[in-house]
Chain A
Amino acid sequence: MIHFVVYLAAIEALLAVWLAATCLVTLARSSWWQKRRMKSAESEPAIRAAIADYVGGADNFTTLEEYVRDSPRDVADELLAFRQAVAGAALDRLCGLTIELTLLQRWLDDSESRDIVARRIAFRRLAFACAYEPCRRQVGDRLAAALRDTDREVRVTAAAAMVRTGQLADLERVFGLALSESPLVRMSLAETLRPHAYALCEKVVPEVLRAGEVPSIVGTLELLRAWERALPIRGLAALMGHRELKVRLGAFALAPLVAPSPEIESEVLAAMGDKDIRLVTAAARAAARLRLDKALPVLARCVRTGEPQLLHVAASALAEMPPSGWTTLQELRFNPNPATAAAAGAALERARRTAGV
């Protein structure tokens, strides 16, 4: 009996020694961190004032050089904090300061660090500096190389900086990156690429769609949808009849953003007779957005059959197509099937309320 307690005591004593040592280290680290934060807070107003003076036209940056020697991190943080406040010549001057203060070279060195966090910060800073042509020249192809970095944030930061050049080759690389990333990153890059949507739709998008790789086609369709612009996309009708369901769903979601054509209309109508409920749902939504009157009988049939999942989608689609869709719903309100009558009535009421009728 005594042995068990002794063993436990021995284990606990060893753990207590380890804990005490770790506690001391963490407390020391915490104190050092706090001191550093206080020091940064003290120097922050002076650094900011010196940067403001320089951006305002003063040529002397001796004070800033001293701060760079003492705490380059604080100067870099303050420079980046100015990013949103300046534009044009003032921004060029601000970015030029990174060369004068040798900060750009430090960041380039850090961008090769094996530490992800250091690399991430370095690329964030380089992306800021690359708004200025001489900085871009010094950075060279480091940004393009960063598109293959193992860290996602580094890749996205580099991509955002590359898009600013506006050159088609850079846009093409970033577009390619967007296709290989997660939906979250794709959303972010879609925002970045949006101003160049037309340029991309002329050459890059048709090439990807023609290449026929399913993940790339799906990614491209998502990007096009995220841009939310009426775009000249050729061959969408063919994608609506693609063998892969994912591609078909993406194409139907995109249909309202392209100019309607007889081919697209016939694909929508054909898909509404499909067995896959996801495809019928996508087609019903597309029909509603395209205000496709020819789809009314098929939508009405969907409401009448009372298939629970399809019922509400079809009723909502009819509600989006006044006046003929509303007339159909008005008739369906009195259908003997209670589920049909309820769904039609609810969709009609909602549509009328939204329209203020």
Chain B
Amino acid sequence: MVYTFDAMVALLAIHLIGGLYVLLRGCLILRVWRREAPFVERTAILKSPLTPGISVVLTPPDASSAWHPLARRLLGLEFGESELVVVLEGATQDELQSWAREFRLFASLETITGPIAISPVRGVYESSASIRLIVVDKEPGPPGDALNAAVDAASLPLVAVFDPESEFQQDALLRLVVPMLESSGDTVALASAVECGTGDSLVGGFAQIEYLRSWLGRSIAFAGWNGLLPEPGGAALVDRQAVIDAGGCHGGVAPMFLALHSHARAAGRAYRIPYIPDPITSIEVRDEVPSLLHQVVRRQAWIGQSIRQAPSLPRGWRSLGSWGLSALLFTRLVRPLAEVALYLVIVASLVAGWMSLGLASAAILMTIASGTIISAAAVVLREVAEYTPAPPSRLTRLLIASFAEGFGYRQLRDLRMIPAFFSSQNH
């Protein structure tokens, strides 16, 4: 028991120091990015024939008419040359008809014959309205099959994916394509930050801190190491040919990014997967713990899927560099397990009389403090990196939330993170 306690405390100390290092690295990278200030000339991007075309894909979890408004909004995105590819899996006749009515679809003679192998396609539809819309109706397939079908059906060189749960601005594609145009040919994919829309409550503060930690650490710092995996809720843009060369995707967008990293590294090719730190999409989190935990579970499932997929990739555990995946595994699975185990060990030791109440309280306080320090550091380091500081009221609210989250919320979050890591949910 003594050794277990020791080991748990040591793991927390490693997590504290490692977590701070990653945040500090994210802060330094963000500072450099802010100084470089991306050059955005939207009118030129919109008008120029040099801008590559984008196929926006929508792979809704079901074929119901509830997704029509989202498809409409995707069709309304401002961009020069773009099309929308919708992939419906296992749609009923009624559902197909509702799509056909809404978008004036007719059965196309077009067939989808690869290059990525997918489950049987039942039909391809195009819109008779003056919009570039392709709807693919197919049999349900394994995870990632709908995305592969969309890549197959896409006729333009870039493929954009938006999270069905997120909101986005009309100029999202114009902003998303910028990093692709900044380099010539070595950018295989990119992802953008997501804004977390919450109220001013304490739970809203918890949500903001969740996103802030992930944004500065897992997104910006990892992008600095060229090991970016996208966040749920964000937008992603990928080179269609790169996805085809990687053999398609076998899960959601995050596993697809991991596969792109792995194949590019295995081929010894110079490549980059940049990150846009300014939010292009936003996700609404209600000021309730269940709503926040839903987002935590989604994020954890994305990472879990990617990590579980790693052994089948060409570079295996080194798909994100020497230690990228190990660090993710440590922070997303080992750390919550260690924290939960530590609480159990403390309770068991108290009951058995192996530990004094004073020592037990000190250990619990240290555990809570380590999480608080990481959260508060994320708030403060963002301020250090940004040229424009946040209003004092927001800063104070976030600092209070970073302190308060250790008393109940973080423990609840840890308990949800462990099973969510093994979840296979796609959306």
Contact = CB atoms under 8 A, between A and B. Distances in A.
Most buried by B among A23, A187, A353: A187
B362 A5 contact: yes
A350 B130 CA distance: 11
B39 A152 contact: yes
Interface string B160-196: 0000000000000000001001111000000000000
Nearest to A12: B369
A2 to B, nearest CB: 7
A52 to B, nearest CB: 28
Contact of A184 (B37, B39, B126, B373): B39
Interface residues of A, number: 52
Nearest to B110: A346
A22 B390 CA distance: 14
Contact of A120 (B37, B48, B392): B37
A338 B389 contact: no
Interface stretch (A73-81, A221-229, A319-327): A221-229
Given A1-B6, A308-B114, A350-B126, A11 B17 contact: yes
Interface in A12-46: 12, 15-16, 19, 22-23, 26-27, 29-31, 33-34
Given A16-B373, A27-B396, A116-B35, A183 B49 contact: no
Interface in B1-51: 2, 5-6, 9-10, 12-13, 16-17, 20, 35-37, 39, 41, 43-45, 47-51
B387 to A, nearest CB: 7
A209 interface: no
Contact of B366 (A8, A34, A185, A350): A8
B242 interface: no
Contact of B388 (A15, A33, A339): A33
B366 A153 contact: no
A156 B41 CA distance: 11
Instruction: Name A's interface SS.
Output: helix
Nearest to A309: B115
Contact of A191 (B41, B114, B115, B373): B41
A162 interface: no
A187 B181 contact: yes
A207 B137 CA distance: 54
A339 B373 contact: no
A29 B181 contact: no
Given A1-B6, A343-B110, A312 B155 contact: yes
Given A23-B380, A190-B44, A12 B128 contact: no
A187 B37 contact: no
Interface string B384-417: 1001111110011001000000000000000000
B366 A12 contact: yes
B388 A2 contact: no
B359 interface: yes
B395 A27 contact: yes
Given A153-B39, A184-B182, A346 B392 contact: no
Nearest to A184: B181
Nearest to A15: B373
B331 interface: no
Interface string B351-394: 00000000100110010011001001100100110011111100
A12 B370 contact: yes
A349 B389 contact: no
A26 B395 contact: yes
A15 B20 contact: yes
Contact of A27 (B43, B50, B392): B392
Interface string A170-193: 000000000000111111101100
B148 to A, nearest CB: 15
A134 B373 CA distance: 57
A116 B383 CA distance: 19
Interface of B: 2, 5-6, 9-10, 12-13, 16-17, 20, 35-37, 39, 41, 43-45, 47-51, 108-111, 113-115, 126, 128, 155, 178, 181-184, 359, 362-363, 366, 369-370, 373, 376-377, 380, 383-384, 387-392, 395-396, 399
15 contacts: A5-B362, A8-B9, A11-B16, A26-B384, A33-B388, A34-B391, A183-B184, A184-B45, A188-B44, A191-B44, A222-B50, A225-B49, A346-B110, A349-B108, A349-B109
Given A182-B182, A226-B48, A308-B115, 4 more contacts: A27-B396, A183-B181, A185-B39, A349-B109
Closest 10 CB pairs of A and B: A345-B109, A184-B181, A188-B41, A26-B383, A30-B389, A346-B110, A346-B109, A187-B44, A187-B48, A4-B9
